[in-house]
Amino acid sequence: MSAAITPAVKAEQTRLDGLYARVDRLRDEAAERLGEAGRRQVENDQERSQRDAETLLYRRRIALLDAVEEGLCFGRLDYADAAEAPMYLGRIGIHAEGGEQLLVDWRSEAGRRFYLATAASPAGVRRRRHLHTKGRRIRSVNDEVLDLDAAADSDSTIGS
């Protein structure tokens, strides 16, 4: 069964493609640094210890990036304040090269609003979007409108 190609699915797929491209770049960078660390000649115990620590760091980074291949991004929050950019949530946090937050780790303080916002207490959240994926593909999106007043003021963005 394939996802209906709605404007929402198409837009979220574009975003997901960008996130996976960033994960691929981060994995490639970590693999390159792992190789460099492994080839580094050491002359004493301190240098050996430092090389081993770097090697372990990059191996763990690669393992983490491999582990999020399935289910990287699963949610998005849209805020009542339209000036506030949507926040995407996932299994890890990811930043762009320039430092912009692309994906927020669901376990972080920033990710709490995804789970705590309700229609009775929206906490500034207009819409919570659940992204259902299989591999690197968006299968469907489900929206929960939490702030009906804000949604009524911006109906044109609901479903996008």
Q: Is residue 153 pLDDT above 60, yes or no?
A: no
The answer to whether 140 and 73 are in contact (CB under 8 A) is no
Q: Is residue 159 pLDDT above 60, yes or no?
A: no
Tokens at 65, concatenated: 């990036």
The answer to whether 48 and 38 are in contact (CB under 8 A) is no
Tokens at 6, concatenated: 């709605």
The answer to whether 138 and 12 are in contact (CB under 8 A) is yes
pTM: 0.86
What is the distance between the alpha carbons of residues 80 and 96, in angstroms, rounded to a whole number?
A: 25
The answer to whether 160 and 8 are in contact (CB under 8 A) is yes
What is the distance between the alpha carbons of residues 132 and 136, in angstroms, rounded to a whole number?
A: 10
Per DSSP, 105 falls in state E
Could you report the per-residue pLDDT of 70-88, keeping only the tens digit for each?
Answer: 999 999 999 999 899 999 9
